[in-house]
């Protein structure tokens, strides 16, 4: 999975729903996640697993494709990973990761070549962010699970997620420190267009690369919210071009339009251009 491609919209779809899987092949989201966990009832787990494997093997998806497995400490997690061996899946999303040992356990059973995103959705996870990220291996992204986290923290309702702001910032900071993607959590009221737009704007302000989605209607607003402005694109291209010039080789800082720019700004510029829509 190319992490430099746009990762603005990450749509979760129940793997137990054949119509949802078929529709996912035509959607414009950046990443589609076939869900074997929360969206699937216990008595439908085996059927959903088989459907996810068949979908991955059949291919034909426009978006990049991943599978959210069940946690390894459930009756279904190891079976999910075993079934996906050799299927060709390039992304595994692991729920309720709470410590680095979980990453190491997942690494031992991951399909060959697949990347891993860890869902951060419990109090134990948010106080161990650095240790989880430091486990390394196939781990390439941190996803904030806001629903579970808010419930376990016991926070009250807040339209601007006031009680969760420290953890929004912490997830992004940890992802940046370890060179990973940071994906914001879902917004449940998918018919609330204004509320969703406001939360997307907040996520981008905090530095998230993209947002988890639960409905196809959220895709276009997400792309609009995370799209860089024209001025941002012009500046990013100028930074990248300046560092690519022969006289910038080996230099940690250069001057652009009277302003000192460092290598860290080059990384930010590359991330800005990665948010451009490849279909535009």
| pLDDT tens sequence across 141-165 | 999 999 999 999 999 888 899 999 9
CA atoms of 175 and 191, how far apart (whole Å) = 30
Q: What is the pLDDT of residue 229?
A: 83
Reduce the DSSP state of residue 253 to 3 states and report it: strand
Q: In whole angstroms, what is the distance from residue 87 CA to residue 71 CA? A: 19
Residue-level pLDDT at 260: 83
pLDDT class of 231 with cuts at 50, 70, 90? confident
Q: State how far Cα 179 lies from the chain centre.
A: 13
Cα(210)–Cα(217) distance, integer angstroms: 15
* Annotated domain spans of the chain: 9-226, 230-274
Look at residue 48 in the predicted model and tell me its pLDDT: 96
Instruction: Let me know: does 122 contact 164? Beta carbons within 8 Å.
Output: no
SS3 category, 256:
strand
68 annotated ligand-binding residue: yes
- Nearest CA to 169 out of 129, 225, 214 is that of 129
The pLDDT score that the predictor gives to residue 254 is: 85
- Identify the CA nearest to 142 among candidates 237, 10, 32, 5: 10
Is 46 within 8 Å of 25 (Cβ atoms)? no
Q: Tell me, what's the pLDDT at 124?
A: 97
* Residues 81, 103 contacting (CB under 8 angstroms): no
Instruction: Check the annotation: does 148 bind a ligand.
Output: yes
Predicted TM-score of the model (pTM): 0.89
CA–CA gap between residue 52 and residue 73 (Å, rounded) = 20
SS3 179: coil
Model pLDDT, residue 112 = 93
The confidence score (pLDDT) of residue 3 equals 57
Range from 1-10, 191-200, 243-252 carrying the lowest mean pLDDT: 1-10
Rounded to the nearest 5°, which phi and psi values hold at 212? -75, 140
pLDDT digits (tens, 9 = 90+) for 44-91: 999 999 999 999 999 999 889 999 999 999 999 999 999 999 999 999
Q: What is the mean pLDDT of residues 204-213?
A: 96
CB 158 within 8 A of CB 198: no
CATH fold of the domain at 9-226: TIM Barrel (3.20.20)
């Amino acid at each position: 999975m190319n992490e430099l491609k746009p990762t603005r919209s990450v749509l979760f779809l129940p793997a137990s729903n054949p119509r949802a899987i078929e529709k996912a092949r035509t959607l414009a989201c950046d990443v589609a996640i076939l869900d074997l966990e929360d969206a699937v009832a216990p008595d439908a787990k085996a059927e959903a697993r088989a459907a996810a494997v068949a979908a991955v093997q059949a291919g034909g998806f426009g978006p990049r494709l991943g599978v959210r497995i069940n946690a390894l400490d459930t009756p279904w997690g190891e079976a999910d990973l075993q079934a996906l061996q050799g299927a060709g899946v390039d992304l595994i999303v692991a729920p309720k990761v709470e410590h680095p040992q979980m990453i190491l356990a997942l690494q031992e059973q991951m399909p060959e070549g697949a990347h891993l995103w860890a869902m951060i959705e419990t109090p134990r996870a948010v106080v161990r962010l650095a240790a989880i990220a430091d486990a390394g291996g196939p781990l390439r992204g941190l996803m904030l699970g806001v629903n579970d986290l808010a419930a376990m923290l016991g926070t009250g309702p807040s339209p601007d997620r006031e009680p969760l702001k420290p953890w929004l910032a912490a997830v992004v900071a940890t992802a940046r420190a370890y060179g990973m993607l940071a994906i914001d959590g879902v917004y449940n009221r998918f018919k609330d267009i204004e509320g969703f737009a406001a939360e997307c704007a907040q996520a981008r302000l905090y530095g998230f690369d993209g947002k988890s989605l639960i409905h196809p209607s959220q895709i276009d607003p997400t792309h609009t919210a995370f799209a860089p402005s024209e001025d941002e694109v012009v500046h990013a291209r100028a930074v990248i071009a300046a560092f690519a010039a022969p006289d910038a080789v080996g230099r940690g800082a250069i001057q652009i339009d009277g302003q000192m720019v460092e290598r860290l700004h080059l990384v930010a510029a590359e991330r800005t251009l990665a948010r451009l829509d490849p279909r535009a």
